[in-house]
Amino acid sequence: MQKDLASHDSVRTSYNAVAGAYADHIRDELRHKPLDRALLNAVIEDAGAGAAVVDAGCGPGHVTGWLAAHGARAVGIDLSPGMVDVARREHPDVEFRVGDLLALPAGDAEFAAAVTLYAIIHLTAAEFDRAFAELRRVLRADGLLLVAFHAGAEVRHRDEWWEVPVNLDFRFHSVETVGEALERTGFAVEAVLTRRSYPHEAESRRGYVLARAQPT
């Protein structure tokens, strides 16, 4: 396990470096993403008012904060301590934890629902089974999971972001690959959709999968 987690050091270090700038650029992005808001609302409604919802790969906490403001008892988890520090400052009434998607700092069946938006883009497809098994572990049976990602088959590399040196690979995955991994790890896929990027976003197809945790 330690070898696998160490492989994410460049992701952690890069996001630590850009945490403040990242928050400045995407703080209000949900205001311009009607489909994302609709899907997040569906997750909240499905979980029930006041239910615990985890935002895995939460970054600076803008989605976690939105979930909390719309009726969820939201918890954000992110690999980057720098991102978590920013999230705690921006959303002081929301709980945030530092942790890897491959080893989530959460109890078994702790959450009624989960979202992970653009976090699996820093995983290889070979890591999907472990990551999704972790999400299944922390979800109660019948809990709904929303996964969002860049859809495709390319890898885009960044060595600079907002004039800050980074070392990041952004991995695009097909909806079939994501769906098959979810099915292997205890989920039933309920909906799959894609959309074009909005004008203010980086250009890519956006993929979404809604999947329900099955009884173990």
Return the CATH number of the domain spanning residue range 2-213: 3.40.50.150
- What pTM value is reported for the model? 0.95
Sign of CA dihedral 194, 106, 13, 82: positive
pLDDT band with cut points at 50, 70 and 90 for residue 66: very high
| 122, two tokens | 């820093």
pLDDT band with cut points at 50, 70 and 90 for residue 41: very high
pLDDT band with cut points at 50, 70 and 90 for residue 83: very high
- Over residues 181-186, the mean pLDDT reads 98
What is the per-residue DSSP string for 126-145?
GGHHHHHHHHHHHEEEEEEE
- Cα angle 18, 23, 24 (rounded to 5 degrees) comes to 100
* 88 has a pLDDT exceeding 50: yes
pLDDT band with cut points at 50, 70 and 90 for residue 7: low
**What is the pLDDT at residue 208?**
98
Can you give the residue ranges of every domain in the chain? 2-213
* 3 has a pLDDT exceeding 50: no
Nearest residue to 42 via CA among 119, 148, 173: 148
**Tens-digit pLDDT profile for residues 95-125:** 999 999 999 999 999 999 999 999 999 999 9
CA atoms within 13 A on the CB side of 118: 14
For residues 191 and 160, the answer to whether their CB atoms sit within 8 Å is no
Who wins on pLDDT, 74 or 200?
74
- Over residues 149-153, the mean pLDDT reads 97
How many residues can be counted in the chain? 216
